[in-house]
Amino acid sequence: MSAAEKFGQMFFAIGLFAVVFIGILLLASLAKGRKGERVQSLAFVGPALLLLAVGLLYPAIRTVGQSFKNGDGTKFIGLDNYTNIFTSPEQLLVIRNTAVWVLLVPIFATAIGLIYALLVDKARGESFAKALIFLPMAISMVGASIIWKFMYDYRPKTRPQIGLLNAILVKLGFDPQNFILNAPANTVFLIVIMIWIQCGFAMVILSAAIKAIPEDIIEAARLDGVRGMQMFRFITLPSIRGAVVVVLTTIGIAVLKVFDIVRTMTGGQFDTSVVANEFYNQTFRYDNTGLGAALAVVLFVLVIPFIVYNARQLRRSEGR
């Protein structure tokens, strides 16, 4: 296709968009009165709803349908794929790993972020200290994984070490460790990467929440003789409870969907696979779309409670 043809197509697409848009506006302006308002709002929301249905609802329904079918989607096999996920040792391992991720990452990322926010609060060079820990957020997960690959890299004792951690270990006279190979510790080492990325996010949100605590409450507590840990326990934490829950659940959702880190570091090998990665493997590598779809559905179901809780918490904190 020549450049002129491409430009032609582009202008055609822009023209078509304009025509459709003007058409909608015209239709909407035709309807008048109270009933007309309803028609108008439908005219504006309609296209978006249609796109949502095509882009989100339809694939979701198809995925659920596929999850009841066999590998190449030709035969209905009922709940077999789901039975497989919750009984076969390979898949159970995936579920176990995902559970470990969902437990460890939100808790540690939030805790570290919170402690850091408290420590740097009103300290000198606060913004610089915050920028430091927020930086990993700016790197893509794949980029972060590649950085950590070099941290964890292993060579036999006789070879020169190029991994930072092993280089230090060898310098100190220990044997080099194969960090990403030995299960189940390797999953923990992968989790460290996610915590490294996410605690900047936790720190920023929680720091803002801490700063939003009304000064007079703190003042009053001081007058009552509340100090140190007590201040944190009885004043700070209750005041930022909403923010903590939002941070925990937001990170939780991100962790359930974690894919890039596992894929880049191990590709799910060495017993480190998680649901999102296994879904990819089953669908695109092992040609087992049925099991892949079932895993996607499981992932979807697992995310729902997080989203519901997150949304309710957000609404409550806004309603206050």
Q: Which residues bind another protein (CB under 8 A)?
A: 70-72, 90, 154, 156-159, 178, 180-183, 267-270, 281, 285-288
Residue 22 exposed, middle or buried by CB count within 10 Å (0-12, 13-18, 19+): exposed
Supply the minimum distance, in Å, between the C-beta of residue 292 and another protein.
Answer: 11
Q: Say if CB 289 and CB 113 are below 8 A apart.
A: no
Q: Residue 287 CB, nearest distance to another protein (Å)?
A: 4
The answer to whether the peptide bond before residue 184 is cis (omega within 30 degrees of 0) is yes
Q: Which is nearer to another protein, 248 or 278 (CB)?
A: 278
Q: Which is nearer to another protein, 71 or 143 (CB)?
A: 71
Nearer to another protein, 117 or 258 (CB): 258
Residue with Cβ nearer another protein (109 or 180): 180
d(CA 256, CA 252): 6
To another protein, the closest distance from the beta carbon of 181 in angstroms equals 5
Is 41 or 88 the residue whose CB approaches another protein more closely?
88
How far are the Cα atoms of 115, 118, 127, 198 from residue 203, in angstroms, in the given order? Answer: 8, 9, 12, 9
In terms of Cα–Cα distance, which of 197, 216, 203 is closest to 126? Answer: 203
CB of 52 to another protein, least distance (A): 27
Q: How far is CA 67 from the centre of its chain?
A: 23
Name which of 63 and 70 has its Cβ closer to another protein.
70
3-state secondary structure of 257: coil
175 class by beta-carbon count within 10 Å (0-12 exposed, 13-18 middle, 19+ buried): exposed
Task: Using DSSP, state whether 76 is helix, strand or coil.
Answer: strand
Least Å from the CB of residue 147 to another protein: 16
CB 169 within 8 A of CB 82: no
Q: Which H or E element spans position 95?
A: helix 89-120
Distance, CA of 99 to CA of 87 (rounded, Å): 16
Distance of alpha carbon 204 from alpha carbon 112, whole angstroms: 12
